Structure 1
Amino acid sequence: MAQTTHIGKLTHSGARSFNPVSKAFHWLMAVIILVAWGIGYYGGGMLHYGVSDAETAQKIWAINLHKSIATTTLFLIVARIIWRAYHRPPELTDMPAIMKLATHLGHWSLYLLMIAVPLSGWANSSSAGYKIPVLGLFTIPQLGPKNPALTPYLVEAHFYLSWALLLVVVGHAVFALKHHFIDKDETLTSMLPKQD
């Protein structure tokens, strides 16, 4: 079994510090998730088929752009999980047990949703018979045969999972800011570029 190392370390002052690879995964996925969510909301909720040719074309463009960006998280989350399996995060210190538990539950919820949301979108497109592009470079195979009867349920699942992901991401950010401005600890700065 491969030896497990730490994603980060405790500095001489006792502050947590993640290494550059972990920070890159964190911020790249944060940006992709928020951008894909915004485009998905615009294309899925703000635009409608059949209103006009222009709006229909705009909706198709937005949904395809959403899928093209969002599908990259499927590859990134696999890489991130593999990385984390062999590189443990730095230990939580100076934190009550209940806060440590809440932190771990929040992180696991985030990982679960980062897997469930793109998978539900992939299944949704597959059941509707649409292609699933990745950055406009290639397409990934469908998860199953076209099944229009299943599509409405998958659309609904993707909708609610996407909102759950947004809420967890926002909660993650709020607690990071709370640690920084109220608790005045290094939780937020541990994931920022190192200042030398």
Structure 2
Amino acid sequence: MSTAETRDYSGLAKLFHWLMAAIIVVAWLVGYYGGAMLHYGVSDQETAEKIWAITLHKSIATTTLFLIVGRLIWRAYRRPPALVDMPPIMKHLTHLGHAALYLLMIAVPLSGWANSSSAGYSIPVAGLFTIPGLGPKNPELTPYLVSAHWFLSWALAITVLGHFLFALKHHFLDKDSTLRSMMPSRSA
């Protein structure tokens, strides 16, 4: 068998991958809905719905902080399988893409945490408990943190979309096992 045929990820790596993918997509959509589609002060109902959506967004998104720690620990002890045969520039770009994903999976929730902290809001985790603020309330800083969180969230969305499209490219154009190697039905 070639490297492409035997390449596979561990069950725990797949669990981290798909759980984080689902959480990131749902948190992003709920955050977009609450942040862009609803407005404070339009009506009591819309204000309440915005508060509900943003609280739900934070409660979902904060779980990624814990999952990324677990994922990084797992990755430190269990290296991912080697890349399939591809030109060196593609391997380099793949590593850069994965580095960007990991960086953004850390930066986005941290920027949201900092934003909520500066605005004086609590930070719920999966509706189970709250985490303390990263610093004191600082309304002057909040608009900058809102912008940073918005920018980083869009950067993450674009990077995730690119990751998804390249997985499809591997599957349909290159006809290699990259996508199949991460599917839940196969385990190492």
**Which residue in 2 is equivalent to 1:47?**
38
TM-score by length of 2: 0.96
Structure 2: 5+ residue stretches without partners? none
Instruction: For 1:73, give the aligned amino acid.
Output: T
**Which residue in 2 is equivalent to 1:95?**
86
TM-score by length of 1: 0.92
**Which residue in 2 is equivalent to 1:82?**
73
Q: Which aligned pairs between 1:30-179 and structure 2 lie closer than 5 A?
A: 30-179=21-170
1:189 alignment partner, one of 177, 180, 183: 180
- Structure with more of its chain in strand, by fraction: 1
**Which residue in 2 is equivalent to 1:23?**
14
User: C-alpha distance in 2, partners of 1:192/1:23?
Assistant: 7
Query: Is the Cα–Cα contact under 8 Å of residues 106 and 168 in structure 1 kept in the other structure?
Result: yes
- Structure with more of its chain in helix, by fraction: 2
User: C-alpha distance in 2, partners of 1:165/1:13?
Assistant: 28
Offset at 1:99?
Answer: 0.5
Instruction: For 1:126, give the aligned amino acid.
Output: S
User: C-alpha distance in 1, partners of 2:92/2:13?
Assistant: 21
Q: What is the percentage of aligned positions where both structures have the same residue?
A: 73
CA offset digits 1:139-169 (Å, max 9, x no partner): 0000000000000000000000000000000
User: C-alpha distance in 2, partners of 1:145/1:108?
Assistant: 31
**Which residue in 2 is equivalent to 1:6?**
none
**RMSD of the TM alignment (CA)?**
1.5
User: C-alpha distance in 2, partners of 1:195/1:137?
Assistant: 32
Q: Secondary structure at the match of 2:8?
A: strand
CA offset digits 1:95-143 (Å, max 9, x no partner): 1100000100000000000000000000000000000001111000000
Instruction: For 1:154, give the aligned amino acid.
Output: L
Instruction: For 1:91, give the aligned amino acid.
Output: A
Aligned CA distance change for structure 1 residues 182 and 12 (closer, same or farther; 3 Å): closer
Identify which of structures 1 and 2 has the higher relative contact order when contacts are C-alpha pairs closer than 8 Å and 6+ apart.
2
Offset at 1:94?
Answer: 1.2
Query: Is the Cα–Cα contact under 8 Å of residues 8 and 186 in structure 2 kept in the other structure?
Result: no
Superposed structure 1 runs of 4+ greater than 2 Å apart: 10-15, 193-196
Query: Is the Cα–Cα contact under 8 Å of residues 11 and 17 in structure 1 kept in the other structure?
Result: no
Offset at 1:194?
Answer: 3.3
Offset at 1:42?
Answer: 0.2
Q: Secondary structure at the match of 2:176?
A: coil
Offset at 1:174?
Answer: 0.1
Aligned CA distance change for structure 1 residues 12 and 51 (closer, same or farther; 3 Å): closer
Aligned residues: 187
